[in-house]
Structures are given as structure tokens and as C-alpha cells.
Amino acid sequence: MKLARAIVIFATLPLVAALGGLLMIVFADETQWGYDGDQGPERWSALAPEYLLCGEGKAQSPIDIRDAVAADLVAIEFHYGETANNIFNNGHTIQVDIDPGSHIVYNGIAYDLLQFHFHAPSEHTIDGEAAALEIHFVHKDRNSNNLAVVGILLSEGDSQNEAYAPIFDRLPADVSAPEATGEPLALDTLLPEAQGYYTYQGSLTTPPCSEVVRWLLLDTPLELSTEQIAAFTAIYDANARPVQSLGKRDLLRDAR
């Protein structure tokens, strides 16, 4: 049922077509793209006319985080509740779709949490160094097509991360439709206690690379166990777009 619904939404709503890369509704997308060879990031802009920004955009993501300017930034207000563990493998990553109700407020704008998904290694780097994984919490402005994506770097630690265990214990190896499994997820437990961040204006990191994203990369990483990281990389060991040029964009860091 949910697979059929995803296909109908993708085919009929211009909004989803515009945001399709990050929303990861890929079941009805006839244009094949990937992370290596003729379908890899260097070729995305040539695969379809709607992917042109992947090669010609001036505000692309991810980037290398360095020389960020300290600024008095507003706090990200997280209003996260519970969601069913609607986990699935969309052919590019492992994703969890979020039940309605959770959102953030940033600069006075409310953004509803739609989904989160993972990349290995991290797409954003810090002074040229990648983390083992990166998670993206994807939010949409209630009044526009703009997105706010909260990124968190995930590094290797000594013990299992219990908050993430319900996800990493159920990673689907095969492409699938969303299906609620296990206990509900308490979304606020998936965040670090310290929530300082870097921010810049950027894009989706997957086709069509639309430049509609306010990136909010938390500066405190979380740790997963070696086994948790290995469970993901056994399925996707290289689903990260290379870093893009910052160009003339501002890169700010929370000075609090």
C-alpha cells in the first residue's frame, strides 16, 4: 500500500518532483543514478535535464567545514516526539519516514520533520576529515518548498548506541517499502545534548541537487559501535557525494 502511494505522490505532485532526491521517493524514478561509474556523482548532471544543477549549480552540498565565521546564531528549537520505526531501504540509503507531529523552529520558521536517512562515509567533512557516517534529518517549511536539514556526524565508539539500536538492529538489506517495525522511536534521544551548529545555504546532496536547503550541521558528533557502523556499511559502504565548492557563500558557526 505504501509503495503504491509513494509512486502516486511522485508522479503527481510537482513539489515532490522538485525535492525527490532528498525525500528519497525513488520507486517511480526512471532515471537511474548512483555513486560510481557512469551513474556516479560526476555524471549526475548529464543523466537528465532536471539534474542540471548537479553540475552547474553554485550553491551545492555537501561541503568541507573549515574557516567558519563565528556568529551569534539563534538556537535550533527541536520539538521532537515519537514516531513508528517506518524503516526501509530505498535503493540509495536506509531511511525512516516520520509520523506527523515532530518539527523544528529556526529563525522563527517552523519546519516539519519528514524523514531521516544515512550516508557512509559522512558527506560533510571537517577540515578534510570524514566521519564514519552522517545522518540527515529532513524538514520542510510549512509555507514554502524550502528545506532545513539537520546533519549529525556519527563516529566509531566503544559501545552500542542504545538510542539508535532499534534502527541498526533492523536495517533492511533489500530494497523495500516503509514498514513499521519494533517499538516506536523517541526522536529526541537521537540528538546530542549539545546542539551548537554550523550553517550555510546549500542543496540536496542527491539528484536533482535543488538549491533549497538551509543546512544545520551539529558540531557535536554521536558515537555508534563498530558493529552498528559495520551493519550499515555492509549494505551501503559508499553512498556519499563528494564535497562541493563553498564559493562565495557564508559558512557560519554558533559562537555560543
Note if the bond before 62 is cis, omega within 30 degrees: yes
pLDDT of residue 182: 84
Q: Is 119 a catalytic residue?
A: no
Would you tell me which CATH number, out of the four given (3.40.50.920, 3.10.200.10, 1.10.390.10, 3.40.190.170), belongs to the domain 2-254?
A: 3.10.200.10
Note if the bond before 100 is cis, omega within 30 degrees: no
Nearest to 29 by CA among 52, 48, 56: 48
* Sequence spans of domains, the chain: 2-254
Instruction: Exactly one of 92, 117, 119, 136 is catalytic; name it.
Output: 92
- Ranges of residues in the chain whose predicted pLDDT is under 50: 1-29
pLDDT of residue 93: 98
